[in-house]
Amino acid sequence: MTPELHIITQSELANFRDSGQYKHLNEKPISCERLDSYMHNPHAKPDDIVLYMLLQDNQLIAYRTILPDDLYGKTPEHFGWCSGNWVHPEHRRKGYSNYLLKQAMQDWNGKIMYTNYAPESHALYQKTGQFTLYSHREGYGFYLYAKTRELLRNRVSSVMRFFLFFVDILVWIVAALRSLMLTPGKNRWSIEEKRNPDSDYLRMFDARQKVCFEREATDLEWILKYPWVKEKQQQQAYFFSHRAKRFFYRFIVLKDKKNTKGFAMLQYRDGCLKVPYFQLGSGGHTELAIFLVKFCKRHKIKLMTIYDPVLSEAVSMVRHPFLYKKQKFQNVYAAWKPSCRQPLVSDGDGDYVFT
């Protein structure tokens, strides 16, 4: 039996969420949290197609989600990010993922981008021959209280996973000792750490240097009000992540004796740290790097990922306890030639800030 294609536009999301079809699907093509976020996306247009589903005998066998966004260059361009892609294990290697990608490319007139991709998805996109590299940045992943049971769980046998428990104890001891002995020094600037962005922070976020991807204060409020991940969230029949034991954002303001010198946004999730957005004045990268090392020590961070090359290098240069650092890349690919040819990309662009 040939699968049936179902498409959902932005304006149809609310009805789809409340429908019997969504409630009774064997797998959810989009979590409740992502649904709420998609519905309130300030960049989405009513006719944007944001969800593609293939159903067979009323069972979901494949889906693709598209996150609408805007690009600002010589002319504004409306486009979509590849955000979610899944095929049921029993229906893989039948071309369904490629079929849904072709549908999306057609409906979005080729204006599709992707970043922070899984290797399998990257291979699929590159096989089409339609995507070219739009932006490339090289940063690092910094490991401190890392858990080898998590890093190697899909690479070793169950017997070896048992022994990794003892390896993790040793890693924790070494990390704790290094954290005690290796301190990054004192900040010359004062650092304010906020749980929520105040009006001054929102003004700074609005006024930051932006080229092409111009997320503003309204975007930040949307991101925070409609997160894709929630603490202690009930398990859903959804393939991608939607819950965490601990998930929060922190909003950092850096000041010297007279002036505000910069800001940063941090995202913490179950021992992992990201820096989705920041802007700093002269000397600010070292000041933020010192703070980040202290933050990692205080919160027992397993992995801090920074794609920005200047900030990641600043972290490398200060005195730190990290056990290991690994080079990481953030590539953005586009299926058309955007009018903005030299984008200023932040770690949080795409859907990275949500996950």
| Sheet architecture: strand order including 132-143 | 4-9, 49-56, 59-72, 76-87, 112-115, 324-334, 132-143, 303-306, 272-280, 260-269, 247-255, 190-194
156-203 tens-digit pLDDT? 676 677 777 888 888 889 999 999 898 898 999 999 999 999 999 999
How large is the average pLDDT for residues 218-243? Answer: 88
The CATH fold of domain 139-331: Aminopeptidase (3.40.630)
Residue with tokens 């929060």: 248
At 46-59, the pLDDT tens digits run: 999 999 999 998 89
240 or 21, greater pLDDT: 21
How much is the pLDDT for 14?
96
Inter-residue contact 255 to 199 (CB < 8 Å) = no
Q: Please report which confidence band the pLDDT of residue 237 belongs to, taking 50, 70 and 90 as the band edges.
A: confident
Please write the tens of the pLDDT for every residue from 249-271: 999 999 988 889 999 999 999 99
* Mean pLDDT, rounded, for 138-154: 87
Q: What pLDDT was estimated at residue 185?
A: 87
Q: In the predicted model, what is the mean pLDDT of the chain?
A: 93
Give 58-74 as a DSSP string.
TEEEEEEEEEEEEEESS
pLDDT of residue 159: 67
Q: CATH 3.40.630.30 in the chain, residues? A: 4-130
**pLDDT at 293 exceeding the cut of 90:** yes
Please check the confidence at residue 151 and state whether its pLDDT lies above 80.
no
pLDDT tens for 304-318 read: 999 999 999 999 999
Enumerate the β-bridge partners of residue 260.
255
What does the radius of gyration of the chain's CA atoms come to, in whole angstroms? 21
2 — pLDDT class (breaks 50, 70, 90):
confident
Supply the pTM of this predicted model: 0.93
Portion of the chain with pLDDT greater than 70, in percent: 98
User: For 73-120, what is each residue's pLDDT tens digit?
Assistant: 888 999 999 998 999 999 999 999 999 999 999 999 999 999 988 888
Label each residue of 261-319 as H, E or C: EEEEEEEEECCEEEEEEEEECCCHHHHHHHHHHHHHHHCCCCEEEECCHHHHHHHHHCC
Burial of 114 (0-12, 13-18, 19+ CB in 10 A): buried
Largest CA distance in the chain: 71
Domain 4-130 has CATH 3.40.630.30: yes
Query: CA dist 43 to 56, 70, 174, 216, 328, Å?
Result: 32, 6, 47, 11, 29
